[in-house]
């Protein structure tokens, strides 16, 4: 009888095991830890990022421009590396804009989206010459005023809150009432006002959500997005130079999840483009992604400082925790807590296993990094590795909570 074993976690492929240890960028985990000098730390593998971009170039239609959405991982070295691979960067604050400009990326290839932009941010963005994705009538008027003040014609696109939603998406950011973008129904009026202002029309930005693993729902959204852009272009001062159709490509985190079929996603988009290009032949189609580029390229490593058994349940106590990696604790947008892929990174050779929970060093029951997982029997000093940690890790975590030191980050 063959009993199908439930997967312990999402498939992990980028970290070959050598001598019972996982490797990152060809370096064994223990050596990597010695190099960093202390735990916990995040380590990112540039080769995995490069490979991912190459895979995208292979499967997506050639004319589609790839942008990296920096908020997934804004470590300057990572952004620098990504900037050398992709066609543009998307930022969501003036802090991110500064890092993006430091890479030498030309400002017209940097777009700035995000709700509640302050006067200071708008003024800085106008001065920098980046593309402003305007999220309201008010932002448009303020941007135009800063342009006049500075003697610069601001580059501006309209971020549209579409009249549909991305189905099966982990995080919906469009459709219904939203703080993001301008409702599609209001865009014709906005375009009328736009035409009367001294703004350089850059097109539309239509982002409806992220973390989607289903090709059919991604393609359905892309089709609706391209149609919406064509409809809205009818009221625009000129043909939109760019149409940013958002992203949405997800990565597998949890047991049972499988990687997105990128080949099918790329082929499907390829079938949608001719109809769009017939209507808007000069509009460049942009896809913006964060986690899909970098999420699988990073790990979070902590050390076991204690182990104990409480009423029959084994706890591996680490020096890490949700203050560094909120998402892995299940408190960053998940409805039901599920385990991220976790391994004891220096015990990958076959050996005795046990059921254990991995916890961090914070004095709260929320600080759970792995719940009742089957793991190799681990000892104090062993390394706990959380995979899929290249996106929404450190900078999406409450590092000040409980006053522990910040972890280091390296790009290998």
Ligand X SMILES: *Cc1c(COP(=O)(O)O)cnc(C)c1O
Task: Kindly state the tokens that stand for 252.
Answer: 């597998």
Q: Distances in Å between the alpha carbon of 247 and those of 20, 205, 209, 342?
A: 37, 11, 7, 27
Cα–Cα distance, 154 to 123 (Å, whole number): 10
Q: Distances in Å between the alpha carbon of 25 and those of 18, 81, 299, 412?
A: 12, 15, 12, 6
Considering the rule CB under 6 A, would residue 327 count as an interface residue with ligand X?
Answer: no
- Comparing CB distances to ligand X, the nearer of 115 and 256 is 115
- Nearest-approach distance from CB 264 to ligand X, in angstroms: 18
- Comparing CB distances to ligand X, the nearer of 53 and 113 is 113
Q: DSSP 3-state assignment of 138? A: helix
**The only residue of 247, 341, 360, 393 in contact with ligand X, by rule CB under 6 A:** 247
- Nearest-approach distance from CB 359 to ligand X, in angstroms: 27
The binding track of 249-288 with respect to ligand X, each residue x by CB under 6 A or -, is: ---------------------------------------x
Q: DSSP 3-state assignment of 34? A: helix
Phi first, then psi: give them for residue 221, nearest 5 degrees: -65, -40
Question: For 328, what's the count of Cα atoms within 13 Å in the CB-facing half-sphere?
Answer: 34
Which residues inside 379-398 make contact with ligand X, applying CB under 6 A? Answer: 391
Task: Kindly state the tokens that stand for 124.
Answer: 């800085």
Q: Distances in Å between the alpha carbon of 408 and those of 21, 35, 261, 301, 394?
A: 21, 11, 33, 10, 9
- Comparing CB distances to ligand X, the nearer of 116 and 309 is 116
Q: DSSP 3-state assignment of 175? A: coil
Task: Kindly state the tokens that stand for 130.
Answer: 């980046």
- Nearest-approach distance from CB 192 to ligand X, in angstroms: 25
- Comparing CB distances to ligand X, the nearer of 72 and 280 is 72
Catalytic residue from among 363, 365, 381, 400: 363
Which residues inside 44-83 make contact with ligand X, applying CB under 6 A? Answer: 69, 71-72
Cα–Cα distance, 363 to 305 (Å, whole number): 15
- Comparing CB distances to ligand X, the nearer of 210 and 302 is 210
Is 238 part of the annotated catalytic residue set? no
Q: Distances in Å between the alpha carbon of 267 and those of 59, 102, 326?
A: 7, 35, 35
Q: How many CB atoms are closer than 10 A to CB 406?
A: 12
- Comparing CB distances to ligand X, the nearer of 201 and 249 is 249
Cα–Cα distance, 329 to 307 (Å, whole number): 19
- Comparing CB distances to ligand X, the nearer of 210 and 221 is 210
Using alpha carbons, select from 124, 123, 125 the residue that is nearest to residue 146: 123
Binding residues with ligand X: total (CB under 6 A): 15
- Nearest-approach distance from CB 90 to ligand X, in angstroms: 6
Beta-carbon contacts of residue 397 (< 8 Å; ≥ 6 apart): 322, 323, 324, 325, 326, 327
Beta-carbon contacts of residue 212 (< 8 Å; ≥ 6 apart): 166, 168, 169, 170, 218, 248, 249, 250, 260
- Nearest-approach distance from CB 225 to ligand X, in angstroms: 13
- Nearest-approach distance from CB 169 to ligand X, in angstroms: 9
- Nearest-approach distance from CB 3 to ligand X, in angstroms: 36
The binding track of 194-233 with respect to ligand X, each residue x by CB under 6 A or -, is: -------------x--xx----------------------
Which residue's Cβ lies closest to ligand X?
A: 290
Which residues inside 97-136 make contact with ligand X, applying CB under 6 A? Answer: 113
Q: DSSP 3-state assignment of 88? A: strand
The binding track of 288-307 with respect to ligand X, each residue x by CB under 6 A or -, is: xxxxx---------------
- Comparing CB distances to ligand X, the nearer of 224 and 291 is 291
Catalytic residues: 363
> Would you tell me which residues interact with ligand X (CB under 6 A)?
69, 71-72, 90, 113, 207, 210-211, 247, 288-292, 391
């Amino acid at each position: 009888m063959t009993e199908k074993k439930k997967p312990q976690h999402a498939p992990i492929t980028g970290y070959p095991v050598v001598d019972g240890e996982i490797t990152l960028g060809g370096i064994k985990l223990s050596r990597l830890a010695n190099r960093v000098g202390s735990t916990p730390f995040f380590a990112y593998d540039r080769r995995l990022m490069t490979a991912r971009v190459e895979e995208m170039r292979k499967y997506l239609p050639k004319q589609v421009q790839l942008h990296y959405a920096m908020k997934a991982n804004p470590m300057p070295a990572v952004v620098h590396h990504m900037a050398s691979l992709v066609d543009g960067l998307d930022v969501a604050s003036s802090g991110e804009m500064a890092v993006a400009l430091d890479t030498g990326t030309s400002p017209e290839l940097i777009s700035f989206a995000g709700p509640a932009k302050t006067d200071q941010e708008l003024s800085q963005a106008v001065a920098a010459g980046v593309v402003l994705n305007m999220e309201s009538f008010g932002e448009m008027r303020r941007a135009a005023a800063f342009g006049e003040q500075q003697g610069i014609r601001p580059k501006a696109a309209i971020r549209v809150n579409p009249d549909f939603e991305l189905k099966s998406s982990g995080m919906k950011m469009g459709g219904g009432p939203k703080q993001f973008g301008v409702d599609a129904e209001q865009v014709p009026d906005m375009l009328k006002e736009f035409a009367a202002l001294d703004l350089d029309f850059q097109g539309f930005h239509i982002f409806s959500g992220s973390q989607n693993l289903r090709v059919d729902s991604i393609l359905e959204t892309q089709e609706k997005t391209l149609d919406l852009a064509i409809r809205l272009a009818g009221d625009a001062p000129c043909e939109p130079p760019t149409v940013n159709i958002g992203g949405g490509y997800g990565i597998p985190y949890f047991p049972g999840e499988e990687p997105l079929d990128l080949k099918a996603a790329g082929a499907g988009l390829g079938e949608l483009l001719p109809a769009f290009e017939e209507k808007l032949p000069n509009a460049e189609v942009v896809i913006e992604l964060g986690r899909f580029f970098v999420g699988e390229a990073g790990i979070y490593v902590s050390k076991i400082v204690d182990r104990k058994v409480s009423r029959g349940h084994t706890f591996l106590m680490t020096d890490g925790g949700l203050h560094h990696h909120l998402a892995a604790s299940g408190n960053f947008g998940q409805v039901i807590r599920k385990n991220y892929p976790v391994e004891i990174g220096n015990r990958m050779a076959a050996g005795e296993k046990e059921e254990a929970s991995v916890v961090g060093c914070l004095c709260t029951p929320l600080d759970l990094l792995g719940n009742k997982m089957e793991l190799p029997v681990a000892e104090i000093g062993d390394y706990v590795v959380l995979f899929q940690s290249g996106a929404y890790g450190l900078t999406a975590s409450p590092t000040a909570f409980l006053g522990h030191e910040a972890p280091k980050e390296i790009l290998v």
